[in-house]
Amino acid sequence: MDSHRHKAGLRPRPAIGLSGTSADPASTQPLNAPASRPSVMQAPVLVLNATFEPINVTAVRRALILMLKGVAQAEETNHSEVHSTSKAIQVPSVIRLLTYRHIPQQSRALSRKNILLRDRNTCQFCGFAFAASELTLDHVLPRSRGGRSSWENLVASCYQCNNRKGDRTPEEAGLKLQRRPRPFTLHTSRQLMRLIGHRDEKWRKYLFY
């Protein structure tokens, strides 16, 4: 049973937020957040290139590190504050890199996390949304038949559909894909940024709603 659940999984890269572009030049380091607001350090922050083009979403923790290193500056802030060893810093909502970074057209690494993001945590067979822990990855063309671990051959799947499909193609299992799997594109990334930041009015003018 367990082998069926994990036959299509890829290990996600340990990261903070939604990293995956070449725009994050700093490694993660701990900052001292107030004990009463532990979740603030994981809140999403929109990352802009030096030209104000939206290129990524990261976590407050990473955004603060970039600011402290002089790599980025805050363009929009929230009402909360975090404290380093020497000062209080307003929590950023949008940051901008101070030096232009070239972002490759395909800027997201192939990983379980990014496949789930692309498919919006929705099983691509039954069409229902699930928590990330209730989803696995499925090879549309099974690996036993030469199917590769690629953007075009991996989809999010709930365990029930994954077990039903087994080592067959969707057609052989009587299943139908919700949509054809594709790599991340600029359009896909912008759509995801809008979904992640839909509650933050400060993001809107940068994402061209």
* pLDDT at residue 106, rounded to an integer: 55
Whether 50 contacts 98, CB under 8 Å: yes
> How far from chain centre, in Å, is Cα 186?
14
Query: If pLDDT is split at 50, 70 and 90, which confidence band does 199 have?
Result: confident
pLDDT digits (tens, 9 = 90+) for 186-198: 666 777 777 777 7
**Residue 7 pLDDT > 60:** no
pLDDT digits (tens, 9 = 90+) for 46-81: 999 999 999 888 889 999 999 999 999 999 998 888
pLDDT digits (tens, 9 = 90+) for 117-130: 889 889 999 999 99
135-139 and 154-158 beta bridge pairing: antiparallel
Q: How far apart are CA 188 and CA 81, in angstroms?
A: 32
Tell me the two tokens of residue 171: 């057609």
Distances (CA, A) of 55 to 29, 100, 126, 198: 22, 11, 32, 16
Whether 45 contacts 76, CB under 8 Å: no
Q: How far apart are CA 183 and CA 37, in angstroms?
A: 36
Q: Which CATH number is correct for 109-165, 1.10.30.50, 1.10.630.10, 1.10.287.810, 2.40.340.10?
A: 1.10.30.50
The domain segmentation of the chain, as residue ranges, is 38-105+186-207, 109-165
**Residue 138 pLDDT > 50:** yes
Distances (CA, A) of 134 to 37, 96, 209: 28, 35, 31
* pLDDT at residue 11, rounded to an integer: 42
> How far from chain centre, in Å, is Cα 191?
12
Which has more pLDDT, 80 or 108?
80
Upper half-sphere CA count for residue 33 (Cβ side, 13 Å): 18
* pLDDT at residue 55, rounded to an integer: 86
> How far from chain centre, in Å, is Cα 121?
11
* pLDDT at residue 67, rounded to an integer: 94
**Residue 10 pLDDT > 60:** no
**DSSP state letter for 188:** H
User: Helices (H), strands (E): how many in the chain?
Assistant: 6, 6
* pLDDT at residue 4, rounded to an integer: 47
